[in-house]
Amino acid sequence: MLKQLLSKFPRKSSRSDGSSETLSSTGCDDGASSGNSIQRASSMNSGSNKSAAVVKRMSSAVFPASVVAGIEPLLSFREMNLCCVVFDFNDQVKNSVEKDLKAQALLELVEHVSTAATKFSEQAIAASCKMFAANLFRVFPPNYRSGSSASENDEDEPKFDPAWSHLQIVYELLLKFIASPSLDAKMAKKHVDHWFILQLLDLFDSEDPRERDCLKTILHRIYGKFMVHRPFIRKSVGNIFYRFTFETERHNGISELLEVLGSSPDPLHKSKSVGIYLQPLTFCITQFIEKDPRLASVVIMGLLKYWPITNSQKEVMFLGELEEVLETTTMAEFQKVMVPLFTRIGCCLNSSHFQVAERALFLWNNDHIASLVAQNRQAILPVVLPALERNASSHWNQTVLNATLNVRKMFSEMDEELFLACRRKHEEEEAQRAEAEERRRTNWARIEEAAAAAAAFQPAAGYTAVLVNPPAAPPIFT
């Protein structure tokens, strides 16, 4: 099947003249370990020495491959070696025949992997992994990450890789290879190793959203099939999150990685560009809480730790995420954090930014949250009522004012006796605060009057009085 395709490549007579133009090809180096950079060698004639691969910069990636102008007959190579040839897709016309032959060979491999009935041999697994590495693993050039920190508008103008028509087939083959029941995980783990996984994770920084979406699915399959690699994957993804949060604040694949897993979600709220990946981040956190409800109090305290006090837009986002977290929070975990939580919510209620105050008031529209509050009203109402009373008397926005009155009415109907007691206490505290403010104002007025009187005093002789230490008494001799 593939040998028939290989036979279609044009033959070229060998030339000994080093100055003449040669047609180079690339292949997987069987002797290279998976931990080293991928080497491709020219093997046109039997017994010829392997030449070093020439690194060529692509438009969105640096492929370690020579510019292929033609291909020697590869009949002596294994069929997999044909798919290790890497072409330059910046020029769509260049080597078009060879590109089509390789694409056809890859499609044949996809069909073969999809219909394989027997277990893959270790030699086939090793050759496949080297072929995947040759085609996919590449270093993005420095100018690829140029620019300032990411913002919510970055995804509006995605950049597409010109080689995607080729890469898509390779990713499809890798996905079917990993998911195939013919792949023995115990045998394959020696080749799908830590180096392979790290190279795969590096590709998540691709600017092509189609590639990141494929990588997300493949990483999910690897995480599910290779249980031995799960701790390493979690640690490596966590390192990407920490590097993004505390060093670069620039990475294109945070959202996709969070959809697979998130080992350290709370610090990610610190980033300025949290709006880009907030939805998958919230999904990741809620999944953690559903699997282990005891994490709810830890997550809520983490949100309070990174609460954006001076950023109203992020504050609205945090309130939305907080609502989703509270929906999965049990009573026991809620009671651990309800006082500091509603202290922060009270501050949001009094925010001069009407969207923040409005979003905080909308928390009471959630039935689960309203139920949690009702069952713990003895502790929550004394914390929240002062903020509600201040809103009712002085907030400038009519929508916030109406929502405040509705929440206050809800508390009154919930427990009128408690509501009135908390209201009286608040009125007493407000009276004491006003009295203390008046005393403070009176004291400052007296100080200002005394300072003005001192400044108006002028000495008669025109000299300024200076405090001089009295002279020491002379010693008395006896």
User: Within this chain, do residues 127 and 256 fall inside the same structural domain, yes or no?
Assistant: yes
Give the range of the structural domain holding residue 388, as residue numbers without chain letter: 270-414
> What is the torsional sign of CA 455, 457, 460, 465?
negative
Q: Model-level pTM?
A: 0.53
418-424 contacts, C-beta under 8 A, 24 or more apart: 418/377, 418/378, 418/381, 419/381, 419/385, 422/381, 422/382, 422/385, 423/385, 423/389
| Mean pLDDT lowest among 69-83, 99-113, 192-206, 331-345 | 69-83
Q: Which of 231, 263, 295 is the last residue of a domain?
A: 263
Q: Which of 228, 263, 298 is the last residue of a domain?
A: 263
What mean pLDDT is predicted for residues 357-369?
96
| Mean pLDDT lowest among 147-151, 271-275, 436-440 | 147-151
User: Within this chain, do residues 136 and 226 fall inside the same structural domain, yes or no?
Assistant: yes
Residues linked to residue 28 through DSSP beta bridges, in sequence order: 40
- Whether 252 is covered by a domain: the verdict is yes
User: Within this chain, do residues 125 and 192 fall inside the same structural domain, yes or no?
Assistant: yes
Counting residues of the chain whose pLDDT is more than 90, the rounded percentage is 47
- Whether 247 is covered by a domain: the verdict is yes
- Whether 236 is covered by a domain: the verdict is yes
Q: How many residues does the chain have?
A: 478
Q: The tokens of 260 are what?
A: 């697979």
Q: The tokens of 314 are what?
A: 């992020």
User: Within this chain, do residues 194 and 324 fall inside the same structural domain, yes or no?
Assistant: no
Reduce the DSSP state of residue 308 to 3 states and report it: coil
Residues linked to residue 56 through DSSP beta bridges, in sequence order: 63
User: Within this chain, do residues 298 and 245 fall inside the same structural domain, yes or no?
Assistant: no
The residue type of 449 is E
Q: pLDDT (tens digit, 9 = 90+) per residue, 141-161?
A: 765 544 444 444 444 577 888
User: What is the C-alpha to C-alpha distance for residues 156 and 50, in angstroms, rounded to an integer?
Assistant: 45
User: Within this chain, do residues 254 and 286 fall inside the same structural domain, yes or no?
Assistant: no
User: What is the C-alpha to C-alpha distance for residues 92 and 106, in angstroms, rounded to an integer?
Assistant: 18
How high is the pLDDT of residue 31?
36
Q: Which of 414, 436, 452 is the last residue of a domain?
A: 414
| Mean pLDDT, the chain, whole residue set | 79
Contact present, 251 and 205 (Cβ < 8 Å): yes
User: What is the C-alpha to C-alpha distance for residues 26 and 98, in angstroms, rounded to an integer?
Assistant: 13
- Number of domains comprising the chain: 2
Counting residues of the chain whose pLDDT is more than 70, the rounded percentage is 75
Contact present, 349 and 388 (Cβ < 8 Å): yes
User: Within this chain, do residues 133 and 251 fall inside the same structural domain, yes or no?
Assistant: yes
The residue type of 459 is P
User: Within this chain, do residues 259 and 125 fall inside the same structural domain, yes or no?
Assistant: yes
Which residues, at least 6 apart from 429, have a Cβ–Cβ distance to it below 8 Å? 386
Please report which residue ranges of 366-415 form alpha helices under DSSP H: 367-375, 377-394, 398-414
User: What is the C-alpha to C-alpha distance for residues 440 and 478, in angstroms, rounded to an integer?
Assistant: 60
User: Within this chain, do residues 306 and 404 fall inside the same structural domain, yes or no?
Assistant: yes
- Whether 62 is covered by a domain: the verdict is no
User: Within this chain, do residues 403 and 298 fall inside the same structural domain, yes or no?
Assistant: yes
